[in-house]
Chains A and B, each alone.
Chain A
Amino acid sequence: MANLEAKGKMSPWQLGIVITSALLTARLLPATTYIVISSEQFLWLSSALAGLLFYSAAYLIILLGQQFPNETIGEYLPRLVGKKFGAVVFLIFITVQLINIINCLIAITTLYSIFLFDQTPRAVLIIVLLLAVIYCTMQEWGTILRVIQILVLALPMLYGFYSLIWINFETLNLLPLWPDNFSGILQGVAYHTEYYPGYESLLVLLPLAARGKVSFARTVGWGFLLVTIMYIIGGIVLIGAISAKTVSNVSYPVVFAMKSVEIPGTFIERLEDHMVTLFLPVTYISMMLSYYVIGEGCRKYLNYNDHRPFIPLFLPLIFFVCAFTNTPDRLEVLRNFSMFIGLFFSFVIIPLLLILAWRKKGNIEQC
């Protein structure tokens, strides 16, 4: 087409990029600690299993989307499960997205306040970032898509940077290769909701993508594969560099591992500070996408013309939850809640919806 941006539409590959960029966020930083506490040196294995698991959830969502092309979750829910249940399910969907934003915000601002600041109140960091997110969400989809495609470049940079940890790699830390603690690894898989957030956005984003030669399952699958491989290699290096025991003792192991890298003779020092800077755009994408999905989902659900009115509505909620969650026990509660609700939505609600959709379709065909 003549126009630069097919407004409100994207190609399947762009959808793949969008989902890929939403997956990796700063949320994985604190999560690594408690995954390693349970999975020990088999972080990579549980990441691989989790990749499979969460891709299957994404695949279910794509299947569900195929049943209702050109419709978002907000539109078909009332038809599928009735008005009341529809509202509940929709609310859970919004909560999942909100939780993603909140977790991202907490993770990234805590990261910054630990590594770059001393006395700056976290609330200030939160509100600044939140306003920046809102500024982007207030744009139209074409702009957001473009922003994602630019900021996603921080991902390979971040990863390249992270690869410097290979300098400190020691095979001994990864041994033995025989897992003796299967339940721990499985528990680690559950904690991976923090490693693979944001794919639920597909429920709203699918109608925005133009169906092309390549299926969505494939492009999203490539994204998941890429991210999973990154996690697997990243997990191997991390454990190899600073050992599982140390990972479970520090709160931001990935950044901490970066601290141990020293390249003498170069200008760059304190690599962890640079890494922290690169985490911001990566996390920003996920937050902004979730926020847009909330706005767009509400717009479709309530049949509005514009997603913008919904954006400021959630600002105070997000801000207060973030600012309130500032002690370890509150963080623990939030973490467990977000894990529970994420898994519940992906592995209980979505399959149920899919089965319902299939049954309804079957009925219609029989008629």
Chain B
Amino acid sequence: MLNKINNKTAANIARQIIIAGISICICMFTTGCWDLKETQDRHFVLIAAIDDPDTVKESGSEKQPTAPHNSFPKHGTQDYMLSVQILKLVKPESKGGSIQSERTFVMSTLGTSMFDMVRDMLAQSSKSLYFEHLSAIVISEAAVKKHGIRTILDFFLRDPEMRWRTKIFITPGDAKAIAEFNPPTGEPGGPYLNGIIRNHKKNIHVAGSKTDVGFITRAIDNNLDYAIPRLEYIDNVPQLNGLALFKNNTLVSYADEYIIQGLKYILGTEKSAIISTNCPEHPNSEISYELFKHDTKLVPHIDGNNIYFTLDITMRGNIGEVNCPTSHNLHDSVFLHKIEQGIAQQVSKNVMDTWEFNQHLGLDLFNIKARLKGYHPFEWAKIKNRWEEIYSTIPLIVSVNVIIMGTGEHD
């Protein structure tokens, strides 16, 4: 009978439910939810700024805490000063548009190991630090020069909590000052810095492609040379200015705007750029060319014993601005062609200068080595040992093809 069956199974089921309930309760009480940490109980680190304590001390902006009387001397030397910018959990703006308060604050400590310093910082912090939303790492030039960049970045590579798209900057001044910066937009400083570098695609004077933690890691792993944007803090405004060039983990030199421009012409990382050239007819006036499509091809060639590279650049764009005192007939193809020629010459000169600059420093920012190895593995095996001396002699043959697609809305 159905009824009878039900009595029995009901008892079974009741027992099962009780067992399940007890086990869930036990789980609840024994687990203790190890990793449970509410969002508001976390201190999100937005910027990690690394300074050399000695240089900071000289500038006098840092006050050392006085040691308690009986304290033990701190282990090791104090190689770095780590400052972290932390998000303040303030009330979202009320409707009236009240005065914007600062959204972040900065804590610093001294030490040798990054991790140790991070934990040490808990002495000044009400909540523990989380790096899940770390947006930027700013390293002062002095700190980099001290021990190289690999040791500084190690903590940020090892911890799986970090993001790979965290941007890295080198600053000639104090990194802490940049961490203390409050953007006028009201957003926190970290995402603001992160945003600055995203504009590299539209600004030919600034480089930022493949300069985040992930790509730097890859470059370090593959023993490649790499560049990190240089961030200057002028008049309380952080500003990208130049590139710090690294070879074998050490800062070799800086690249200025001109070299950056050359780098970008060769690698084609920008989406859009403005190139100004002198007008063929008015040498004192400038014509701006708005580049919007840029293809480059850097290919190694081996011809007998000669190794050389060819670079084909194709640029497509419009005329963006003409500053000439008299107007030109921009429908005249001969005139346009002259402009194209002018730009091409300018670009190829810039490229050649950059190429030589690289060779001069022994820097391989274009992966010349990998290209040669990839395309000509057997020849590479032969010259592998003499690479350093060969590199500085490799010529580059540039051909630039500039095409003007449009001349603008109104002449």
Binding site for B on A (CB under 8 A): 114-115, 117-121, 124, 172, 174-176, 178, 180, 242-243, 245-246, 249, 256, 259-260, 262, 264, 270
A139–B9 Cα gap in the complex (Å)? 18
Q: Are A124 and B377 in contact (CB under 8 A)?
A: no
Q: A118-B34, A119-B35, A124-B31 are in contact. Are A270 and B163 (CB under 8 A)?
A: yes
A263–B165 Cα gap in the complex (Å)? 11
From DSSP, what is the main secondary structure of chain B's interface residues? helix
Chain B, residues 99-140, CB within 8 Å of chain A (1/0): the string is 000000000000000000000000000000000100000000
Binding site for A on B (CB under 8 A): 31, 34-35, 132, 160-161, 163-165, 198, 214-215, 217-218, 221-223, 367, 370-371, 373-378, 380
Report chain A residues within 8 Å CB of B373: 175-176
A174–B375 Cα gap in the complex (Å)? 11
Q: Are B217 and A175 in contact (CB under 8 A)?
A: no
Q: Are B35 and A117 in contact (CB under 8 A)?
A: yes
A246–B367 Cα gap in the complex (Å)? 16
For the complex of A and B, 5 pairs with smallest distance between CB atoms: A175-B374, A176-B377, A119-B34, A245-B221, A260-B214
Q: Are A175 and B375 in contact (CB under 8 A)?
A: yes
Q: A176-B377, A246-B221 are in contact. List 16 more A-B contacts (CB 8 A).
A: A114-B160, A118-B161, A119-B34, A172-B374, A175-B371, A175-B373, A175-B375, A175-B377, A176-B373, A178-B377, A243-B218, A246-B218, A259-B164, A262-B165, A270-B132, A270-B163
CB distance from B190 to the nearest CB of A (A): 14
A115, A118, A121, A172: the one within 8 Å of B371 (CB): A172
A249–B217 Cα gap in the complex (Å)? 10
A115–B374 Cα gap in the complex (Å)? 34
Q: Which residue of B lies closest to A179 (CB)?
A: B377
Report chain B residues within 8 Å CB of A242: 214, 218
Q: Are A243 and B221 in contact (CB under 8 A)?
A: yes
Q: Are A246 and B198 in contact (CB under 8 A)?
A: no
Interface centre among B34, B132, B221, B371 (most CB of A within 10 A): B221
CB distance from A73 to the nearest CB of B (A): 34
Q: Which residue of A lies closest to B380 (CB)?
A: A176
Query: 15 interchain pairs (CB within 8 A)?
Result: A118-B161, A121-B34, A174-B374, A175-B371, A175-B374, A176-B380, A242-B214, A243-B221, A243-B222, A245-B222, A246-B217, A249-B221, A260-B164, A262-B165, A264-B198
Q: Are A246 and B370 in contact (CB under 8 A)?
A: no
Q: Which residue of B lies closest to A115 (CB)?
A: B160
CB distance from B297 to the nearest CB of A (A): 12
Interface centre among B160, B164, B217, B378 (most CB of A within 10 A): B160
A119–B54 Cα gap in the complex (Å)? 36
Q: Are A259 and B34 in contact (CB under 8 A)?
A: no
Report chain B residues within 8 Å CB of A270: 132, 163
A119–B380 Cα gap in the complex (Å)? 48
Q: Which residue of B lies closest to A119 (CB)?
A: B34
CB distance from B159 to the nearest CB of A (A): 10
A175–B371 Cα gap in the complex (Å)? 8
A119–B32 Cα gap in the complex (Å)? 11
A260–B221 Cα gap in the complex (Å)? 15
CB distance from B390 to the nearest CB of A (A): 18
Q: Are A259 and B377 in contact (CB under 8 A)?
A: no
A208–B163 Cα gap in the complex (Å)? 47
CB distance from B408 to the nearest CB of A (A): 29
CB distance from B20 to the nearest CB of A (A): 11
CB distance from A354 to the nearest CB of B (A): 42
A174–B367 Cα gap in the complex (Å)? 13
Report chain A residues within 8 Å CB of B380: 176
Report chain A residues within 8 Å CB of B161: 118
CB distance from A246 to the nearest CB of B (A): 4
A260–B165 Cα gap in the complex (Å)? 7
Interface centre among A117, A121, A178, A246 (most CB of B within 10 A): A246
Report chain B residues within 8 Å CB of A120: 34-35
